[in-house]
A = this chain, B = another copy of it.
Amino acid sequence: MNSFLKYLNQMVPLSEAVQEAISEITIRRVIPGNTLFFQNGDVCKEFHFLENGLARVFYHKDGKEVTAWFASEGQIVSAIDSLFTGQPSFYNIQMTEDSVIWSLQFNKIEPVFQKYPVVERLGRLLITQNYLLLDERMKLFAFCSAEERYEKLLIQIPDITQRVKLGHIASYLGISQEHLSRIRAGLRHGHA
């Protein structure tokens, strides 16, 4: 069983037949690092499970890239605003490292929903989980300073600073790169 099916199985136990049906609409992809995997303005028709590697979801603001999300091994990533609306997305997705992903072709899933109601449940749980992640992110902005948000990100992805540029992290935290640099300097002197 591949890592994607394992991930799904742990949310809801799936019969052989269901796993087969899902596999039929899933593509395994090997992506080289630094690939712009999905471009804003396009319509997204898949969602992706990262077997390994790192994805960065970002948008353009005043000519600059602003990171909206990081996804790493064992997580789901997609231009979810487009996937569920059929409208062009605001987001871009870049694989920042060599990655192996499983892409589920969402536009082919309707017959599977019809045939296997358990997949409908699976879909409900997946989107619910993503909703809660987004809610967590909003709470981080609500309750925590930029410094605290940085520290929480380090807990979540400890080696993130080795994996992406500081500017990408800064925009994810909602601050300028210079400000993040100063926060880091403060942490160094405060803790050393």
- Which of chain B's residues have a CB closer than 8 A to the CB of A84? 128, 131-132
Q: How many residues on A have C-beta within 8 angstroms of the other chain's C-beta atoms?
A: 28
Say yes or no: B134 contacts A134, CB within 8 Å: yes
- Shortest CB-to-CB span from A148 to chain B, Å, is 13
Q: CB within 8 A of A134: which of B59, B120, B131?
A: B131
- Shortest CB-to-CB span from A102 to chain B, Å, is 20
Say if the beta carbon of A159 comes within 8 Å of chain B.
no
Say yes or no: A61 contacts B120, CB within 8 Å: no
Contact residues, A97-136 vs B (CB, 8 A): 113, 117, 120-121, 123-124, 127-128, 130-132, 134-135
Query: What are 24 A-B pairs with beta-carbon distances under 8 A?
Result: A59-B142, A61-B143, A66-B142, A68-B138, A80-B135, A84-B128, A85-B132, A90-B139, A113-B121, A117-B120, A120-B120, A120-B121, A120-B124, A123-B124, A124-B127, A127-B128, A127-B131, A130-B131, A131-B131, A131-B134, A134-B134, A134-B135, A137-B138, A138-B138
A interface residues, Cβ below 8 angstroms from B: 59, 61, 66, 68, 80-81, 84-85, 90, 113, 117, 120-121, 123-124, 127-128, 130-132, 134-135, 137-139, 141-143
